[in-house]
Amino acid sequence: MILLGVIVSLAVLFAPIGVWSLSRKVRRLTDRLERLEAHYAEHSVRAMQAAEEDVEETWVAPEHRLYTNSATTDADATKSEDAAPPPAFVFRGDMFANGFNWLKENWFLGIAAISLALAGIFMVQYGVEQGLLTPFARIIGALGLGAAFIIIGEFARRRFGDESGTMNALPSTFSGAGIVTLFAAVLSARHLYDMLPSDLTLYALICVAVLSVVLGWFYGPFLAAIGVIGALGGPFVVGGSSDAPHLFFYYFALIVVMALVIDTVRRWAWVSVLALVGGFFATWILLISGAQSAHALVFSLISVLAATALPVRRIWPDHGGSMMSDGVAKLLRKGSGNWPDFPTRLAVGTYIAALALSAMMPLEVGLSLESWLGIWSVFGLGLLALIWMWRAPALQDLSVLAPLVLLILIVVLAADRVLIFKDFTQIKFADRLEGDAMPRAASVFVGMFAAFAALGFWRASQGVRTSLIWIGASAFSLPAAFGALEIFWTPSVYIGAYIWAGHAIVGAVLMTLLAERSAKRWPEDMRPAALFAMSALSLISFALLLILSTAALSVAIAVMILIAAFIDRRFDMAWLGFFIQLCVAVLGWRFLIDPGVPWASWWNTPLWEVVLGFAAPLTLMAIAWWILRPLKRIGALKVRFGRLVPSSH
């Protein structure tokens, strides 16, 4: 270890000498190049003067000259529009090829940057093991070494520049190593030696991040790459143990924001991708090492906010252009996708990564509180997509992801029998004592989907693209949640059939309100109101299914058919025909199979109940048919009712 320290120290001492020697050589080469350029420029001026003397000036009419200039201006404008930079694509073959070629030619600069950064980390971490330095002296020495690297890099940048070429990447090498050393020094002062409190550590890291942002605005991309990779990998290289490892999640979020702020000015694109991919990967490594997962959710939320707002420089995102789903659909149809701009792709990728991280919490962690935090994080991301991103047409398709993830979680939580599901199904309603608390998981899920439905209607009322799809998703998200919960969680067994049916009735009230609002918002098109009306009738039917007997349920379904027919006749909602057909099909199943003819022919079944289960529904359907006849709803009731009448005798 001492030998390694001596080698690194000698490398640090001789590095400025090498820079000075290289600068002398470059200065001499620059002087020779300037003399050659001056000599060439003198000959070029003489040749142009001789050519102008040989050309006769021709007269051009003023109006023709004006037309020519205007045409030239239009052509230049068209050319400038055509020459506008295309959307940034980071994962392209030519970019990877250019990166590998640069590394093959300048690999020693990468090694130099790593060596210089490790020199600072070595001073912080290992010097005291031999009794050479106290912890305070090590931290001060590392801070001084990082500052010295930055000063050397700034001197080299002012002397040689930092845009292209091998020599011009040298300033980024020194400054990037200095930034990594400063980050490592601050982290070591907090987590290795406990010299700084948490709040002062955060302030120090913010100061280093601000310095990194300022340097990143003036230096080339090599500094950004060194700074991001080194800052994210620094905590794992420094090592040690910490009583508050969750603070690293906020540190990673700070690095992500730092890179995005640099990239929002320089527009390199790959710097943002590198920071986000590295940040989520470092967060995952920290999670599997046992850190508190709740703070990882804060990291994902900060990353989504930063990756959505900073590239477009807007507090309220306004991403325009095509959506990611448009590109996927075109790719499936034609084999090539019309992908959106880079800010849209960056926001979509970060949002999906945050959703995946949040959805993983209830499945992986063993604490009920952290599991619920993951579910609430999914819900919060859904609210972000519905409310915060409502001015961004290119991000509309993100709004469907959170409800879809929640619906999948309802199924997976029950299938895997995770802690949340076990808590809900611990005591059945029949065995519950008077003082026992009622499980609330099903109520929470229903409330989340009710909020999604209401916000989806609000988004559709703002005149967004494909408003009818928004209405359909809003109308059927709540019935889908009730169906998934009833199939996989059976809440009626654990919270009571009447309480669970009350949830459905409350949902039906919400859908009825949205149907009324839809009729006023779109009076010329009753399809949105019909969709919400179908949702309300479905929830009412579901509630009746939970609490009614066999015969009464058939009558209730027939009443739903009659109500739907009356609403269709009164408000001209043709789409209610789909609900009517579905209800008629359900009644056909009940007439023939469940409970069906065997139940009706059973010797101990009362005659009045058989009449109630068969004659009453058929009578109500006949009335509904008579109501719909003037509207000529082909297929709504006529065909199916005609098939059912002979079967009922």
pTM of the complete model? 0.73
Q: Helices 221-238 and 170-191: crossing angle, nearest 10°?
A: 30
Is the pLDDT at 345 greater than 80? The verdict is yes
Q: 245 versus 388: which is more confidently predicted?
A: 388
Q: How confident is the model at residue 381 (pLDDT cuts 50, 70, 90)?
A: very high
What's the rounded mean pLDDT across residues 471-499?
90
- By CB atoms closer than 10 A (0-12, 13-18, 19+), residue 11 is middle
pLDDT of residue 594: 72
Q: How confident is the model at residue 7 (pLDDT cuts 50, 70, 90)?
A: very low
pLDDT of residue 466: 63
Q: 489 versus 367: which is more confidently predicted?
A: 489
Q: 172 versus 44: which is more confidently predicted?
A: 172
- To the nearest whole number, what is the mean pLDDT of the chain? 76
Is the pLDDT at 140 greater than 70? The verdict is yes
Is the pLDDT at 194 greater than 90? The verdict is no
Taking only the tens place, the pLDDT of each residue in 116-136 is: 666 666 655 555 555 566 778
Q: How confident is the model at residue 310 (pLDDT cuts 50, 70, 90)?
A: very high
Burial 455-466 (b: 16+ CB within 10 A, else e): bbbbbbbeeeee
pLDDT of residue 553: 80
Q: How confident is the model at residue 44 (pLDDT cuts 50, 70, 90)?
A: low
pLDDT of residue 476: 87
From 8-12, 280-284, 345-349, the region with the lowest mean pLDDT: 8-12
| Residue at token pair 């949002």 | 351
pLDDT of residue 48: 56
pLDDT of residue 11: 45
Alpha-carbon distances, residue 7 vs 4, 11, 12, 130, 568 (angstroms): 5, 6, 9, 16, 87
Three-class DSSP labels, 211-265: HHHHHHHHCCHHHHHHHHHHHHHHHHHHCCCCCCCCHHHHHHHHHHHHHHHHHHH
Q: How far apart are CA 488 and CA 201, in angstroms?
A: 48
Distance, CA of 27 to chain centre: 50
What's the rounded mean pLDDT across residues 318-340?
78
pLDDT of residue 20: 47
% of the chain residues with pLDDT over 70: 72
Taking only the tens place, the pLDDT of each residue in 532-559 is: 988 898 899 889 888 887 777 888 888 8
Q: List strand residue ranges (DSSP E) for 277-421, in order.
A: none
Q: How confident is the model at residue 293 (pLDDT cuts 50, 70, 90)?
A: confident
pLDDT of residue 357: 94
What's the rounded mean pLDDT across residues 440-465?
89
Is the pLDDT at 59 greater than 60? The verdict is no
Which pair of structure tokens corresponds to residue 65?
């000259």
Q: How confident is the model at residue 16 (pLDDT cuts 50, 70, 90)?
A: very low
pLDDT of residue 308: 94
pLDDT of residue 54: 46
pLDDT of residue 484: 92
Taking only the tens place, the pLDDT of each residue in 142-169 is: 888 888 888 888 887 777 666 555 555 6
Q: 574 versus 406: which is more confidently predicted?
A: 406
- By CB atoms closer than 10 A (0-12, 13-18, 19+), residue 497 is middle
pLDDT of residue 307: 94
From 80-89, 195-204, 320-329, 616-625, the region with the lowest mean pLDDT: 80-89
From 394-398, 508-512, 625-629, the region with the lowest mean pLDDT: 625-629
pLDDT of residue 288: 84
SS3 341: coil
Is residue 162 within 8 A of residue 219, CB to CB? The reply is: yes
The number of C-alpha atoms within 13 Å of 101 and in the hemisphere containing its C-beta is: 7
Which pair of structure tokens corresponds to residue 323?
């959506």
Q: 5 versus 34: which is more confidently predicted?
A: 34
SS3 596: helix
pLDDT of residue 1: 40
Is the pLDDT at 314 greater than 50? The verdict is yes
Is the pLDDT at 2 greater than 50? The verdict is no
From 144-158, 236-250, 327-341, 430-444, the region with the lowest mean pLDDT: 236-250
Q: How confident is the model at residue 334 (pLDDT cuts 50, 70, 90)?
A: confident
pLDDT of residue 351: 96
Alpha-carbon distances, residue 231 vs 176, 182, 205, 290, 538 (angstroms): 10, 9, 10, 21, 55
Which range is most confident: 234-248, 305-319, 631-645? 305-319
Domain map of the chain by residue range? Answer: 1-29+105-247, 551-649
Is the pLDDT at 448 greater than 70? The verdict is yes
Which range is most confident: 35-39, 365-369, 495-499, 625-629? 495-499
Is the pLDDT at 222 greater than 80? The verdict is no
What's the rounded mean pLDDT across residues 19-32?
62
From 137-146, 191-200, 307-316, 337-346, the region with the lowest mean pLDDT: 191-200
% of the chain residues with pLDDT over 90: 19
Is the pLDDT at 291 greater than 70? The verdict is yes
